[in-house]
Chain A
């Protein structure tokens, strides 16, 4: 089952920075020009907020499959 918890912990995850985004893109094998970094950073922060919302729900990983694709 799930509990509404952990929001504080998840939202306290360190924010990415332009430097960390550039490094992670390089690690991922993407050679994007430097001027892409601010846009990627702002999108990554939005995704991080979504992830924090998701993690705060704290769904027990055994309570549902992550691999079932039908409605």
Chain B
């Protein structure tokens, strides 16, 4: 990859400039909007720019600064959201043409309200796989989102537009969602930081659902402190569930399921990373069953949610999504309940796993982003569709409800490679501390936006 010379400003640095009067919110938002427009939808990740709303909002932030008031820790920071967050006065498409005639949202999603109350400015909505059902962000109606490090490759998905908007430096932060790896896979493939919080930790009000028992709201960014700040804002001062352990963090690499099907381009850098962390490994028993249970839950809940639309006109859905949902409609209730029962069982057992290691890690995805022309990957020796399988390492973690943070491995690779850090439920502060340590040691780093992308 060829890199540009400049590193985009972090959200925290942008807000500091706005609060001190060195920059205006309007100028920052104007620049972000212009950049997104210049890149175009396929390369910026945006599907819809909210220019009028954003500039009005940015002007109000500037007025507060002029009046000597503090607009908040994200003053004037432009951000985007995956197109399943409600935006007042807009249709929440969830990436589907089946919703083209849906009602306009009457209010903003809670997460948007909270970020804007902290001074941030929403500039637009971002592309995703239809209803979040896919790992490639190749949307038949809203277009393909291309990987900025190689436009011939996928961005990953389902929230690929949100990752690309950050990877290109168009905005410093995006809000997205994660059902089964939806933000972690594109974070890994485009070289940005992605937080998938503990299930239920961040507000989902006003976010179009997909799989109620797995969906979480998360954040993508280029800077660790930016992502941590977004989490803090979205939690509205809720107390942490546990204190992070002091002293040295014990890292452990997950093996078996998480060591199978790794591509050659990932294995070398991952082994080198592991060597630097002491080569401790652990098993996460029953991960394959967890992935199977997650797949059953997604198929059943997704199909149930969209049953009215499937009954009305199944041909309105993209064929891969339609066929997966129709199959989900045919699942016996007993299989769905067995999957949910397994979920409860493994969550209870997992609490003991973290007595052995503080932070576990896996690849975020098997290797480099697949090509758009032939979006496949190798699984158990066979070439299979990336659309349905790129999340093999993220899916079990979703079922377990655990928080995860994806970071890019540092190194001069042809394409980004991401690792997924995992902690016990509610232990996000430990994840951020671990990530800081890895960045400071030079083991992880967010690549600068490629030339032509910023």
Contact = CB atoms under 8 A, between A and B. Distances in A.
Interface stretch (B36-44, B337-345, B413-421): B337-345
A71 B319 contact: no
A62 to B, nearest CB: 10
Interface in A11-58: 16, 21, 24-25, 28-33, 36, 39-44, 46-47, 49-51, 53-55, 57
A66 B336 CA distance: 9
A65 interface: yes
Interface residues of A, number: 38
A21 B314 CA distance: 15
A57 B289 contact: yes
Interface of B: 198-200, 212-213, 286, 288-289, 291-293, 295-296, 299, 310-311, 314-315, 319-320, 322-324, 326-331, 335, 337-342, 344-345, 347-348, 388, 400-402, 425-426
Contact of A69 (B213, B330, B331, B426): B213
Nearest to B319: A39
Given A25-B326, A32-B326, A54 B338 contact: yes
A70 B324 CA distance: 26
B323 A71 contact: no
B329 A28 contact: yes
Contacts of A64: 341-342, 344-345, 348
A66 B347 contact: no
Contacts of A49: 292
A46 B295 CA distance: 9
26 contacts: A25-B326, A30-B310, A31-B311, A32-B314, A32-B326, A33-B314, A33-B315, A40-B327, A43-B299, A43-B324, A47-B295, A47-B296, A50-B293, A54-B289, A54-B293, A54-B296, A54-B335, A54-B339, A55-B338, A57-B342, A66-B344, A70-B200, A71-B199, A71-B200, A71-B347, A71-B402
B180 to A, nearest CB: 13
B323 A40 contact: yes
A33 to B, nearest CB: 7
A66 B402 CA distance: 18
Contacts of A41: 327
Contacts of B348: 64
Contact of A59 (B320, B326, B345, B400): B345
Contact of B328 (A33, A36, A47, A71): A47
Contacts of B328: 43, 47
Given A28-B330, A40-B327, A61-B341, A50 B295 contact: yes
A29 B311 contact: yes
A47 B327 contact: yes
Contacts of B340: 66-67
Contacts of B345: 2, 59, 63-64
A42 B315 CA distance: 18
A53 B291 CA distance: 10
Given A64-B342, A69-B213, 6 more contacts: A30-B326, A43-B299, A54-B338, A57-B286, A65-B344, A66-B340
Given A53-B289, A57-B286, A59-B342, A70 B296 contact: no
Nearest to A21: B330
B194 to A, nearest CB: 18
A54 B296 CA distance: 9
Nearest to B241: A71
B395 to A, nearest CB: 11
Nearest to B327: A43
Contacts of B314: 30-33, 36
A25 B330 contact: yes
B198 A71 contact: yes
8 shortest A-B CB distances, which residue pairs?
A71-B401, A39-B323, A43-B327, A64-B345, A50-B292, A53-B292, A66-B340, A64-B344
